[in-house]
Amino acid sequence: MKHFTLMSATALTLAMAAPAAAQMQLSIATGGTGGVYYPMGGGLAEIINNHIDGYSATAEVTGASVENMGLIATGDADLAIGLADTVAQAQTGTGRFEGQQLEMIRGLASLYANMVQIVALDGSGITSLSDLRGHRVSVGAPGSGTEVNAQQILNANGITYDDIDEQRLNFNETADALANGDIDAGFWSVGAPTSSILNLATTQSIHMIALTPDEMTAAIGANPIFARTSLPGGIYNGVDQAVPVVGVPNVLVVSSQMDDELAYQITRAMFENIAELQAVHPAANQTTVEFTLDATPVPLHPGAIRYFEEIGATIPDRLRP
């Protein structure tokens, strides 16, 4: 009886009229509970629940980007979050999705970027990308996204593994090796702030290496998925000023089969109530219309385009289906 009295008249009418109640339930495919995807998905679910009549959304724990694209393709998820390069590969049938093009993938927004953070300790003499030559550098765990991104940035700027003593360490190992003096610098490709750098910065004086405009342009030339972004000042102890870095966007996607009105309502509700998502996780401070139009790697859903045009945004041709 309690649920009946709390339900709005509109929602009750829809519930009684709809022959398949499952059509009102939306599933948001995210990632593991320890990452950023899950709380972001949960925050989006709350926005849908609170601001879109007749729909209820739930964030689902998944294996993240690759699995999420499959869930959208099969209709087992209504919305999903994925790394931009994975999303682009799924939509174009390249990379991990060779031979299984998921043409139905459409974007609603780019939420935030995994920032490629390059850290050295104060006093190391390493203050720029070119200073990495001749030093011991962690490029990330073997085969990780961090290593892929590190190689792209280095190679695009004329630095190869022949120029450095590369170490393949995961995030916690990289932080420990820096603290112990076993390496001189390390790469992280992850949402910020990340716990391993936070912890390192409490015991060591760290220096975050900024990319110059030319270095950033070269990196984006090597990997067009990279987006220009900035690590906020104050996010780590000792890093007081904003640091220009490249990022790999994380994209909110749906199927092209989603109803245009529903896609419009979700896009509008999210951007008009973005403070609610920012209260769940600081990564949502990057969730802007401008970032979406700059960083989304696949065509937008027509419902999302309707919202962006409604608020006066200019839609790049590459984002039109």
Same domain assignment for residues 19 and 118:
no
Predicted confidence at residue 148, as pLDDT, reads 81
Predicted confidence at residue 186, as pLDDT, reads 98
Phi, psi at 167, each rounded to 5°: -125, 135
Same domain assignment for residues 227 and 314:
no
243 burial class (0-12, 13-18, 19+ CB within 10 angstroms)?
A: buried
Predicted confidence at residue 143, as pLDDT, reads 66
DSSP 298: S
| Residues in the chain with pLDDT values less than 50 | 1-22
Same domain assignment for residues 204 and 122:
yes
216 burial class (0-12, 13-18, 19+ CB within 10 angstroms)?
A: buried
Same domain assignment for residues 120 and 230:
yes
Same domain assignment for residues 130 and 206:
yes
DSSP 35: S
Same domain assignment for residues 118 and 244:
yes
Same domain assignment for residues 238 and 273:
no
Same domain assignment for residues 120 and 183:
yes
Tokens of 71: 């869930």
Q: Which domain holds residue 109?
A: 2-113+249-319
CATH number at residue 253: 3.40.190.10
Same domain assignment for residues 157 and 240:
yes
Secondary structure of 95-116 as H, E, C letters? HHHCCCCCCCEEEEEEEEEEEE
Q: Which of 248, 275, 310 is the last residue of a domain?
A: 248
Predicted confidence at residue 49, as pLDDT, reads 96
Residues 6+ apart with CB under 8 A from 6: none
Same domain assignment for residues 255 and 109:
yes
Longest Cα–Cα distance of the chain, Å, equals 71
Number of separate domains in the chain = 2
pTM greater than the 0.75 cutoff? no
Residues 6+ apart with CB under 8 A from 9: none
Q: Which of 214, 248, 282 is the last residue of a domain?
A: 248
Same domain assignment for residues 160 and 59:
no
Q: Is the dihedral of CA 31, 37, 40, 41 positive or negative?
A: negative
Predicted confidence at residue 173, as pLDDT, reads 93
Burial 153-177 (b: 16+ CB within 10 A, else e): bbebbebeeeebebbbbbbebbbbb
42-85 pLDDT tens trace: 999 999 999 999 999 999 998 888 899 999 999 999 999 998 98
Same domain assignment for residues 237 and 263:
no
Report the percentage of the chain scoring pLDDT > 90: 74
Predicted confidence at residue 278, as pLDDT, reads 96
Predicted confidence at residue 36, as pLDDT, reads 85
Residue type, 175: A
Q: Which of 220, 248, 276 is the last residue of a domain?
A: 248
DSSP 33: T
